[in-house]
């Protein structure tokens, strides 16, 4: 009788351990996907910041900054850097026309 109870308890304990292990593996997979997503988002954000810095850098001639601007747009960048680029272009056109 005692050995039967011990066997049942042992089997239940083993089943519980397997269940917990499976749940832990599933949680680790979810966490790994989330970490990968966060890493990709951070890399994208860092790249956009780098490109925006090049776009705003007045020490680099405008024609050399064009590839940075194009990549910025292709990555879905918008906002201040794009507005700056367009305003700067208009300003240069006006300067060339008045010269």
Domain ranges of the chain: 33-99
Q: Has residue 1 got a pLDDT over 70?
A: no
The pLDDT-based confidence of 96 (bands split at 50, 70, 90) is confident
Residue 79, pLDDT score: 83
Torsion of CA 18, 23, 24, 26, to 10 degrees: 130
For residues 81 and 59, what is the distance between their CA atoms, to the nearest angstrom? Answer: 16
Which among 35, 40, 72 has a CA at the least distance from the CA of 56? 72
For residues 70 and 17, what is the distance between their CA atoms, to the nearest angstrom? Answer: 55
Question: pLDDT tens digits, residue range 37-75?
Answer: 999 999 999 999 999 999 999 999 999 999 999 999 999
Residue 24, pLDDT score: 95
| pTM: predicted TM-score of the whole model, two decimal places | 0.70
Which among 99, 54, 69, 67 has a CA at the least distance from the CA of 91? 99
Contact 45, 18 (CB under 8 A): no
Residue 95, pLDDT score: 85
């Amino acid at each position: 009788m005692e050995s039967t109870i011990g066997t049942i308890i042992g089997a239940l304990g083993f089943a519980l351990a397997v269940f917990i292990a499976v749940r832990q593996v599933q949680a680790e997979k979810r966490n790994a996907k989330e970490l990968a997503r966060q890493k990709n988002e951070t890399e994208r954000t860092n790249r956009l910041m780098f490109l925006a810095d090049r776009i705003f850098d007045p020490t680099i001639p405008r024609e050399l900054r064009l590839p940075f601007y194009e990549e910025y747009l292709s990555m879905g960048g918008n906002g201040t850097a794009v507005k700056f680029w367009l305003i700067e272009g208009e300003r240069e056109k006006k300067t060339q026309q008045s010269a």
